[in-house]
Amino acid sequence: MKPMLDGKAVLITGAAGGIGAAAARVFSAHGARLVLADVNAEDGSRVAEEIVKGGGEATFVRTDITAEKEVAALVRAAVRAFGRLDCAFNNAGTDGVTAPLHESTRENWEHVLGVNLTGTWLCLKHEIAQMLRQEGGAIVNTSSVAGLVGLGVTPQSAYFAAKHGLVGLTRQAALEYAHRGVRVNAVCPGAVRTPLLETAMRAGIISEEEAVAYTPVKRLASPEEIAEAAAWLCSDRSSFLTGQAVPVDGGWTSQ
């Protein structure tokens, strides 16, 4: 059997660390040719170099997904590199400042929605335009369990609003383009051992014990476990699946 993403040209945002860096490694292992993007050029370039040294194909493009010209240039770079864009994993995001809603700032609200929601919308806009010039493609957005349920222990109203918005955006985009061969789904990770969660735990926003307590399997996920789900959603093996927000959460949202 061929590798799941054999020869597919794949764009991954937020690829400098965490789930994005894990996705670069996992997608490459499944045969994908990669264009990686992040605002962190140093770490993003390092991930691309790691893929190449391991025998894969990868290039890095420093991109701020809130800047439409940069997103458009990123998609063009992918097409220049590989002649097409088969799949995209829109993973870039931020959690912003943790504070109760009544103490939150408009600046933080606009920043978090700008990256997580508007930035992903810009990626979808330009990725879909390219895929419509081909015979279609597959896109996966990174939402969260925070896009499916609320959680009182972490006061992050902007983050929860953005991630819920991503689920709605995913469903609407899927319906608009299903008949034109473009599939759009979302992964909704639970508690994942990423630098973002590690920072939150060090800051006392949430403890590892609290995160594990919300997870029926009683452990944190690895970034690679989320990446494997995203790779499957990008692959032809999920060809009849679109418009879905798929929890990869150890049972969190089943409670």
Which tokens hold the place of 13?
């945002």
Does any domain span residue 151? yes
Q: What is the pLDDT of residues 33-53, one digit of tens each?
A: 999 999 999 999 999 999 999
Does any domain span residue 78? yes
Does any domain span residue 3? no
Q: Provide the whole-model pTM.
A: 0.96
Candidate list 89, 121, 159, 177, residue with the active-site label: 159
Q: Residue 14: what are its φ and ψ, rounded to 5°?
A: 65, 35
| CATH code (residue 156) | 3.40.50.720
Does any domain span residue 191? yes
Cα 236 to chain center, whole Å? 19
Does any domain span residue 70? yes
Q: What is the pLDDT of residues 61-86, one digit of tens each?
A: 999 999 999 999 999 999 999 999 99
Taking the C-alpha atoms of residue 167 and residue 50, their distance in angstroms, rounded to an integer, is 32
Q: What is the pLDDT of residues 124-161, one digit of tens each?
A: 999 999 999 998 999 999 999 999 999 877 789 999 99
Count of domains in the chain? Answer: 1
Taking the C-alpha atoms of residue 211 and residue 252, their distance in angstroms, rounded to an integer, is 10
Domain that holds residue 97: 9-249
Does any domain span residue 4? no
Respond yes or no: is residue 177 known to be catalytic: no
Cα 35 to chain center, whole Å? 14
Does any domain span residue 222? yes
Does any domain span residue 254? no
